[in-house]
Amino acid sequence: MKKGRLFIVSGPSGVGKSTVLRALLEQRENARFSVSATTRPAREGEIDGVDYHFVAEETFRDGIARDEFLEYAEYVGHFYGTPKKFVEAALDAGQDIILDIEIQGAAQVEKRSPEAVSIFIGPPSWAELERRLTARGTNTPEDIQRRLARAKVEIQNASAYDYFVVNGSLAEAVRELDAIMTAEHCKPKDFLPLLADA
């Protein structure tokens, strides 16, 4: 069976990654979202085990010591990490995996899995990003400022990614991500047995 592909999706906080990815996953049956572990408290409406595995810092540190993370990083005062076991099992089962991770984690994954495909989701403008982050209403003003400062650094690193998708219209962003994933399955290297038979 063909292994699944690993897709890294990064983008500044507030750009709408979760909404875009939720819509994308509804239309790509063979793709699954990797649920990260985090030490940040759950926001209203977030479900443990669905949005994140919400864990105590001690539990997270145990996970690091046991090498349970494919990558992990600290972001605005909290830890976030990708569970290695889940990702490896799903890829082996032929499923595409989407990691919604920030740039330090993305760099770690690229190093370990150079065949991973990286996509950066950017806002249509800086002002719009600030508006969306504030409108969410679930972050404190101090947290918003920290996230905006971090967003600058992230956007400065966007050219290291394989693709850049602007989340202006949700439908358009989903269409572009879907097209990227489809195109990544149309590489000659994925058809080596067929090519070898020629």
102 binds ligand 5GP, rule: CB under 6 A = yes
71 binds ligand 5GP, rule: CB under 6 A = yes
User: Which lies closer to ligand 5GP via its Cβ, residue 61 or residue 187?
Assistant: 61
Q: Are strands 37-38 and 53-54 parallel, antiparallel or unpaired?
A: parallel
Which residue's CB comes closest to ligand 5GP? Answer: 105
Tell which one of 4, 7, 32, 36 touches ligand 5GP (CB under 6 A): 36
84 binds ligand 5GP, rule: CB under 6 A = no
* Stretch touching ligand 5GP by CB under 6 A, among 24-32, 72-80, 84-92, 171-179: 72-80
User: Which lies closer to ligand 5GP via its Cβ, residue 5 or residue 120?
Assistant: 120
Instruction: Scan for tokens 């918003």, then name that residue.
Output: 144
Tell which one of 3, 28, 40, 175 touches ligand 5GP (CB under 6 A): 40
97 binds ligand 5GP, rule: CB under 6 A = no
Q: Using alpha carbons, select from 89, 79, 88 the residue that is nearest to residue 52.
A: 79
* Stretch touching ligand 5GP by CB under 6 A, among 73-81, 121-129, 155-163, 179-187: 73-81
List contacts with ligand 5GP (CB under 6 A).
Answer: 13, 36, 40, 71-73, 75, 80-82, 100-102, 104-105
